[in-house]
Structure 1
């Protein structure tokens, strides 16, 4: 059951991050899930030590861990935009 929750929360976080970064029109549901999960991994690697919390990838579904995962997804989309478009947006 945790796997399904992980996929759903990752999809929602990826979708919200794509709305913030204005890339929602270019992404589908599958890419939103990928962005949410990979962004959570990136957030866990970069931001978790700063905030002292886990991410959705560590089965921690607290508000702070959702925020760290969301920020990681935004950072991931900014890096992708910078590499492929030459600007963050």
Structure 2
């Protein structure tokens, strides 16, 4: 996948993760893209640890793993930034 594909894939996966876990998040579209792209990498790594192929392109399972990775990153992101504000 090209860099533009990863950005679009990350934006969609990050937006769905933010939709599943609603709340007030610092950052805008750039943070959403970064969470989605890194979440896709994390989801691919987790998938490969369970015997899957990882995130190999635009497929349903790649997208599911990217959203799962994005959810994990979003939870960690909120824990770090909410703790620093307190």
List structure 1 runs of 4+ shifted beyond 4 angstroms.
none
In structure 1, the partner of 2:38 is 38
Match of 1:5 in 2: 5
Q: Which residue of 1 aligns with 2:71?
A: 74
Question: How far apart, in 2, do the equivalents of 1:24 and 1:8 lie?
Answer: 22
Helix, strand or coil: the match of 1:65? helix
What is the aligned residue count? 83
Q: Could you tell me how far apart the structure 2 residues matched to 1:12 and 1:18 are?
A: 10
Q: CA RMSD in A?
A: 2.1
| Gapped regions of structure 1 (runs ≥ 5) | none
